[in-house]
Chain A
Amino acid sequence: MPRQPNAVDFWRGFALVSIFVNHIPGIWYERLTHRNVSISDSAELFVFLAGWSLGLLVRGRPELVSAGRLVARLGARALKIYAAQILICSLALAILAATAYLLDNPLILELNNAAAFFQDPARTQIGLVLLTHQLGYFDILPLYVVLMLAAPAIALLDRFAKRMLLPGSLALYFAALAVPFTAPTWPVSGQWFFNPFTWQAIFILGFALSREEGIGRFARRHLRAIRLVSLPLVLVTAVMVWFNLFPDPIHLPEPKLFFLNGKSFLTPIRLVQFLALAALFSTAFPIIAPWIRPVTEYLSTLGRNSLNVFCVGSLLSLIGQILRLLYTGSFLIDTIVVGVGMALLWFTAWVSEWQDRQLVVA
């Protein structure tokens, strides 16, 4: 039986819908997503909740007692996400190739960083398998794979050297900003869109804050005070985003990444603003859920099946991009793309839970 709606599933569903919409550049509904008034966007929310869920998984499963079973369980999860990434990239390339043939339009082969694959398939295929070549908008899962590969180490550190985990994560984060360093791409020289050395910080923060002790306990105890600080921060940054009031990057002091607003490096201003936003909305779910019950059910259903929904959503975003290209995006086309896409996301989640429902009936 699927679990009842809860805050984590609800917000994860919210992030999934936002990602689906935001990955169709130029679509009218993009202006309704929260990134228009927030420095951080749904990517931060998605990765934070992934860390939070890992925290719940590690501490909420009594059968995962031995370290060996814990490592095996988390390793299997990483493998599943990796397999999902390989599958959706393969499908995305096939969608692009089929569309290019059907329309006799080779330009389609260049969408979403796919050009390298069709131009240099031998090396790019190796890059896709090694995650060093990432298709545009298919670059969050590689980060998630790396984080989940690190999950056994995170869980073991949490178990045997609890006090090392968060300081270690933050030390790596600031080192990656100060030097700076990131993961390279190959065969096309460049860098990962989501720097795993900095984005791990928000994952670990999600993990640590899900705990009833340490920083999690501190946050819960002082939530009111944290919110008092967070409110003006969120409001001021909303104005900064709306009116684009960020300082000129060239005039910032070194190390510049400490002061810039950069998504790839998850710079401190993004991280702090996200944490403030999370603090403000952390208790919103029980208040708003009864008033928007169908929305709650819908988003929680997506959130419960996040990997499947994310994968289908990525492909639907790509199809949406192609449809907008073909029918020169209008409000009507955008509405159809978003409406049908959101229905298919729900259908994906429904099918994913179908087996559970059958077991209950039986």
Chain B
Amino acid sequence: MGAGNAQPTPELPPVAKECGEVGSSDTPLPNGAVALQERKKIKILAIGSSATDVLGSGREGGPPLLEQILEQTIRGLDVEIINRGFSGELADATATRLKIEVALNHPDIVLWQVGTNDAFAQVPVEEFAESVRSTVRWLKENKIDVILVGLHYMKQLAKDPHYQAIRDSLQQIAVEENVLRIRRSEAIEILARLRESGRPEPSDFGLNEAGYNCMAQYVARAIAVGLYAKPPKWPLPQKR
């Protein structure tokens, strides 16, 4: 990555110990890298079922945690996050709205949280895959990087064949289209295992609360890796 290599490589954003170790692919974000080099500013559109957990909550009403981590890690970088999450929306409906929001806001990176609602709603896998694939291609054609944030982990659905099929289909699209995918269900599963193993958690019901800020940390790290096209230093989990 020419744009990325010209930059001095910063330290990767830290991920808190209690979040465990989880990885994403080390896929580059070429358009984000160009924006970083030319403008020192990147615009991220967060869209999908509910962007709150991926962005992380900013303390005392401040900006989202993801924005804070990126700005603290990459000196001089100005991050603008546009949150257009809408809970319960299926991939097909989000795809339509995503194109409108991209046309209006001109982001460099789209952070798309996708799949959970389609798995819940029993959307046929082919239909889901077609919506996601065509939208990812549209984004690439328009020189916008995309990060797919995968399905929630849910114990009750972990063995559900349709849930698995939707998850596998998302994974396949990410590989085929060479786009970054945050392995969300693995991340939350790791948190669940940590909780079961007796590691301290904020509360019994705090799994997802902890999950929120962990997700923001994973995403920040993945973006930093993507911007500098640097392979991850942490061990990747085994393929499922």
Contact = CB atoms under 8 A, between A and B. Distances in A.
B64 interface: yes
A25 B117 contact: yes
B160 A328 contact: yes
Given A105-B154, A249-B100, A250-B99, A325 B87 contact: no
Interface in B75-132: 81, 83-90, 93, 96-97, 99-100, 102-104, 117-118, 120-123
A111 interface: yes
B238 interface: no
Interface residues of B, number: 43
A115 B113 CA distance: 15
Contact of B64 (A103, A189, A249, A260): A189
A329 B121 contact: yes
Contacts of A191: 84
A176 interface: no
A109 interface: yes
Given A25-B90, A25-B121, A107-B152, A260 B208 contact: no
A252 B160 contact: no
A252 B85 CA distance: 24
Interface stretch (A116-124, A219-227, A348-356): A116-124
Nearest to B122: A329
Interface string B38-73: 000000000000101100010001011000000000
B125 to A, nearest CB: 13
Interface in B141-184: 142, 152, 154-156, 160, 162
B83 to A, nearest CB: 5
Contacts of A252: 103
Contact of A113 (B50, B208, B209): B50
B104 A109 contact: no
Contacts of B81: 189
Interface string A193-235: 1000000000000000000000000000000000000000000
A31 to B, nearest CB: 12
B207 interface: yes
B207 A190 contact: no
Interface string A320-333: 01001100111000
Contact of B212 (A27, A119, A123, A264): A119
A168 interface: no
Contacts of B104: 180, 249, 256-257
Nearest to A318: B88
Contacts of B102: 249-250
B25 to A, nearest CB: 25
A248 B134 CA distance: 13
Interface string A19-55: 0000001110000000000000000000000000000
Interface string A111-136: 11111101110010000000000011
A184 B156 CA distance: 36
A110 B152 contact: yes
A133 to B, nearest CB: 11
Contacts of B142: 250
Contacts of B212: 115, 119
B205 interface: yes
Contact of A106 (B85, B90, B122, B207): B207
Q: In which size bucket is the chain A interface? A: 35 or more
B48 to A, nearest CB: 12
A187 interface: yes
A107 B154 contact: yes
B207 to A, nearest CB: 5
Contacts of A26: 90, 117-118, 120-123
A111 B89 CA distance: 10
Contacts of A170: none
A248 B87 contact: no
Given A189-B64, A190-B84, A25 B154 contact: no
B159 to A, nearest CB: 12
A189 B97 CA distance: 17
Nearest to B67: A189
Contacts of B64: 189
A262 B103 CA distance: 12
Contacts of B83: 188-190
A230 B127 CA distance: 33
Contacts of B209: 118-119
Contacts of A174: none
B85 A248 contact: no
Nearest to B155: A105
Interface string B168-211: 00000000000000000000000000000000000001011100
A41 B47 CA distance: 22
A245 B115 CA distance: 25
A285 interface: no
Given A120-B57, A249-B100, A260-B100, 18 more contacts: A25-B88, A26-B118, A26-B122, A109-B208, A110-B152, A113-B50, A119-B208, A136-B86, A136-B87, A136-B88, A137-B88, A188-B83, A188-B85, A189-B81, A249-B103, A257-B104, A324-B121, A330-B122
8 contacts: A105-B155, A107-B152, A119-B52, A119-B209, A249-B99, A250-B103, A262-B100, A325-B120
Which 4 residue pairs across A and B have the least CB separation, nearest first? A26-B121, A136-B87, A249-B103, A113-B87
